[in-house]
Structure 1
Amino acid sequence: MNGPAPPAETALTVDGTGLPCVTLRLRLRQATDGAAPGTVVHVIATDPAAPPDLPAWCHLTGHLYLGPVSGTDRPVCALRLAPDACPTRSDAPWQRVEPAAEPGHFRP
């Protein structure tokens, strides 16, 4: 989505004010772990790397990036949690959790 996301749908807010994107993604993953699919998350992100990073994280996980939220006094982006999102590592949310290899199969 290219337009601003509606602020009224917010069910969860993750405040990443002053955090670098790496730390923000750790906080975002922790905050959304166990949240219901369809939940709209507003992410307050002051790191200049956040505008390209959050859509990339959504693409990686399968969540829907809704875009910047207008009418806020801080930079806020919105996303909607997907029901079939790919899990990410708790210590490295920029990496997907890969399923275990089947017995007898080698994974490099």
Structure 2
Amino acid sequence: MFSTQPNLFIYVSLIFGVLFVCFSLYKSKKLPILTDIFMVILSVAAAFSGIDLCYLVLEGSKGLGDFTDQKLVIVLGGVAVFWVSLLSIINSCKQIKTTQ
């Protein structure tokens, strides 16, 4: 699914970082602090990687070696990474909305 393009998560993360800056400029008329931009970029990268991990494990194209009996735990870990990243992105956007 996502693994056909190497390092695609980097491009997606940077695009979302730029979109976050544009959203902040539109809503609060000022640039966000650098740590917020980095938090969004890293959260998007983590969310992307969590989804990719779930896909690769469920598809079965990657050998898991000794961990083949742990597919459920690996998928739940990928979902947890995605969920925490999504909440972090949502909270960052809410913080921009409240600092108008």
TM-score class, shorter-chain normalisation, is: under 0.3
Higher-RCO chain (CA-CA 8 Å, sequence separation at least 6): 2
Task: Return the TM-score normalized by structure 2.
Answer: 0.26
- Name the structure where helix makes up a greater proportion of residues: 2
Which structure would you say has the larger Rg? 2
Task: Return the TM-score normalized by structure 1.
Answer: 0.25
- Name the structure where strand makes up a greater proportion of residues: 1
